Structure 1
């Protein structure tokens, strides 16, 4: 090396050390012009470009340096960091793995490699690498912190907490570890401790935007929405480009039903980070809830284009498509769902699966995956060791649906008829009390104790139930909209029951019983339910005999129906209609000239898609007539204009079947293998019309055609229905109530006798 080149190299080093990167760069470029194979010069130039955020140029210099000296641990390590900045994590991992083979005892190398593995979502392997880093340096507090993050991502919350505690023992002023500890305590539902951790973090670093945002999430969990918004606003003051905080703020606004503002927050988040899948998902969920299904579909498709393996997104997409009857790729989508459930992947909410397939084993597995992930058993309060002894058994019904809702329409009279000499009734309502209706008023009046708990946390509600010494807690919602499964995960009462609202297993160990009957859950199917089965003798479903059928007589023309021709109808929600069902309906229509099919109009997209699908099956779309929504009494009255109700499968008519039978309209069903696909059969058995139950599409279609073309046969069923309506068990609410109360007594007696839950036959 000439003395002049030596001077250039030394000048570059000196300029680098004083932070004059431009001068250092120029000196190194001149030096390399004369000495093109100098490892140290290329390595230093790469470091300079990295300091200047010129990552592509740094990458090229690292590669040239490593061509000269492939065994440089420092260059390999620095190159790995550069590659991560370029988004080339797999290549970065290869570089650091090479460095580890050369220097396997360097804790920082294990640490950096573990960080890349976390970025790649390989948390189990990352955990092993953090353990190696800590083996070589037990006091490496940053490694304890990041190890905690990997364990957290893998759902190992207690283990994550132990690592954060160790990091804070080594460095009590580590603000990030305090914030991370707070997130973990939140997952463990230790909210007060979580808030204290965020406050400690923010005391150490008031400008820590992420800690403000994390605190907002916990405040939202505590239903302290205004405080949550304030913390998000603080985070966004500190970092206006904080995409996650914008999305979190949107979630809180959604809880406050400020939907337009929530969507604006999600849009801001996505403008900042178009690849932020969670914001796409949050926006999709709110659009779906607002019944803006085509827009929701776009969100879910975007999520899956970003990450095809994002949790729950495929199920949400298929569900949104079903709500508009968009069936492209239907069979392949269902096959994919089943494959992913079998692989224990987090793919779909169990309620959304009910309408998509008829396999009770898959439904149970799906429910187990969902409950374990979304509502794992909480141990906040511990077991209920005390056996309550009261003059009356205390029964509590938990629901979001004490309003104009099928659950309320079915249960209103049941609540009124409960035997007050033996039972004390409690209701816990999760729905906004401002949304009053005649059903809500009627139900409130039927309970001695009615608690409005929408703004309480799951823990607070569970604690209230324990303070009230509830004996039997009954979940009327399951996994349906607005349900609060987390209450039962906290063990609100010694006996917990899955009843009515959700037609399937919860897949959760903390739910003791499911109320059923021999039709919806044959004894051979008990293995597909995590709960013990309580068998009522006639049907699991209650009914309200006080439901009024309006006296108004609708003309067919008034309803948009033809004056002549057979009227098939189905007032089920459109998401229950699938290609196989429409195939059967098309074949039925083709064999009954002049007939029409009268459906509920859920949304314009579903209507248009169903008409187009019928045309594909060579049936004119004008043979589909759509009914708008009416008040319940008038809706019941218009059933008189129809001749036969055609059921759907694998998700049958439930309340809609009861509506039809109460209004005097026969229901033809196809019975399947799952609870949801056997409900209409249960109702028909309970009203003694088993001949209207079929088991295959061929039987279903043949009987539909026979009844449409043999009016005398259909009239026989109508006469039997008229006779049976008030004489058979289906609408005998007094008898039903006695059977259900007997079931409660048997559950209670088993518990008081120290017997584990067991199948019960009433």
Structure 2
């Protein structure tokens, strides 16, 4: 399955259908550890239930292998009443990373009289501004990068963490081996991985009713911990003035369709739709995130669909503040499927750019829809591919419709829940309090709902 990930990142699609079929066949054979769960998120036609099967198979042997060490460590927990709940966050992204940008304002807004926040970092210290800001946001910052899983788990236990929140899941650099040793009485899957971890790794997954409707509970090993609006936090980073189009390589005139999702999320089917939109919108361009590996292939794919390769414009990676400045130049963001926009979607909405999405039935495919609900623009959630094209074409062809959507977004941003970090922190604290009360009472995890802030 390694070639599946490499080919997707390169947008090398000659064997796309066959590789997707191979993934489904491998999953059906129920062999342990054959398909990394993260890779399956971008394979079309996979259900949330199949994602769970993949995670269960991926962890089955690993959990079994860790059981002896878990028994040796024999962690015991202090469940007595205390003044402050101790919540630990486990990640290697405590630096200038999308996860940190999403979460930082909610961390800073936590009630320090009720909750003591600890970071457990197994990533490098880049000594940057975000790292310093995160250090200030946490009560204690534990660098466990040099520790093995057992030693890192012991550090979590020694800090007497009540709730350990994993921000990585099965994304690059994850260390689920720490979680498998269960160093905290409550463990939570949050933000970094849009799906279930399988096994008994985590007790809860922080989500919302649009991303994971209650009827889908069987597709997740964790119990749902529902935020009242979107599960995703996002702050109010200052928006500087946009650059000129020329400064970012865009033509001076013409409609700008945009998708800054990573290349592995692009599929031939979605690209077909995008090329139809370009063909139907004269002088339009498609603004994509630069990728040395994928650019040539994407230009070739455009040519094969009758679209001039020069109508693809590639944007280099840049710091968040500069990225948000340039993003304001986009007219409309187009989502991908089945792995949709997450941070890129909320960034676009904060920058004042509408996004059109088509929600599927998996966590990874429904995040943009959740964000649109939370910002008061649910009409931009398409029912199917035909509706996706129709909604996008309407906005591209009728300037007054696009301006009305942008004006509504400008009005909604300051008052809707999506960008209310303080309200988000209060609801998140409510979920943590409920988790802890259930744990102390001996009750098993079950779906819980945060109060609306």
Point out 4+ residue stretches in structure 1 off by more than 6 angstroms.
Answer: none
1:596 alignment partner in structure 2:
285
Contact 1:479 1:502 in 2 (8 A): yes
Give the deviation of 1:462 after TM superposition: 1.1
Q: Tell me which residue corresponds to 2:123.
A: 431
TM-score normalised by L of structure 2: 0.96
Residue 332 (structure 1) aligned with residue 23 (structure 2) = no
Of 239, 252, 258, which aligns to 1:563?
Answer: 252
**Counterpart residue number, 1:387:** 79
**Does 2:156 correspond to 1:465?**
yes
- Of structures 1 and 2, the one with the larger relative CO (CA 8 A, separation 6+) is 2
User: Does the CA contact (< 8 Å) of 1:414 and 1:737 recur in 2?
Assistant: yes
Q: 1:643 aligns with which of 331, 337, 340?
A: 331
**1:383 CA drift (Å):** 5.4
Matches within 5 A, 1:57-456: 315-345=1-31, 346-357=33-44, 358-376=46-64, 377-378=66-67, 379=70, 380-382=72-74, 384=76, 386-433=78-125, 435-456=126-147
For the 8 Å contact 2:153–2:183, the answer to whether it is kept is yes
- 8 A Cα contact 1:394 1:471, kept in partner: yes
TM-aligned CA deviation for residue 549 of structure 1: 2.2
Deviation string 1:495-541 (CA, Å, 9 cap, x unpaired) is: 00000000000012131000000011011111100000101110100
Deviation at 1:387, TM superposition (A): 2.1
> How far does the alpha carbon of each residue in 1:253-286 deviate from its partner, in whole angstroms, 9 at most, with x for none?
xxxxxxxxxxxxxxxxxxxxxxxxxxxxxxxxxx
Give the drift of 1:389. 3.5
Q: CA RMSD in A?
A: 1.2
**TM-score of the superposition, structure 1-length normalised?**
0.57
- Please state how far the C-alpha of 1:467 moved relative to its aligned partner: 1.7
Structure 1 residues 510 and 388: CA distance shift in structure 2, 3 A? farther
Aligned residues: 444
How far off its partner does 1:605 sit?
Answer: 2.5
Show the counterpart of 1:151.
none
TM-superposed CA distance for 1:693, in Å, is 0.5
Does the 8 Å contact 1:342/1:362 carry over to 2?
no
In structure 1, the residue matched to 2:432 is 744
- Which one of 197, 203, 228 corresponds to residue 537 of structure 1? 228
* Distance in 2 (alpha carbons) for counterparts of 1:555 and 1:383: 58
Distance across 1 between alignment mates of 2:225 and 2:214:
11
1: CA distance, partners of 2:123 / 2:110: 23
Contact in 2 for aligned 1:513/1:533 (Cα 8 Å): yes
Determine helix, strand or coil for the equivalent of 1:510. coil
Offset of residue 638 of structure 1: 0.8
Distance 1:374 1:722 in 2: 48
**Offset from partner CA, 1:72-118 (integer Å, 9 cap, x none):** xxxxxxxxxxxxxxxxxxxxxxxxxxxxxxxxxxxxxxxxxxxxxxx
Per-residue deviation, residues 278-305 of structure 1 (Å, max 9, x unmatched): xxxxxxxxxxxxxxxxxxxxxxxxxxxx
- In the TM superposition, residue 385 of structure 1 has moved relative to its aligned partner by 5.4
CA–CA distance in structure 1, aligned partners of residues 273 and 407 of structure 2: 27
The 5-angstrom pairing of residues 725-744 of structure 1 reads 725-744=413-432
Compare the two structures and name the one with the higher strand fraction: 2
What secondary structure, in the 3-state scheme, does the structure 2 residue paired with 1:720 have?
helix
1:504 aligned partner? 195
Task: Choose the corresponding residue for 1:476, options 147, 162, 167.
Answer: 167
Which secondary structure state, in structure 2, belongs to the residue aligned with residue 664 of structure 1?
coil
Structure 1: distance between partners of 2:234 and 2:246 = 31
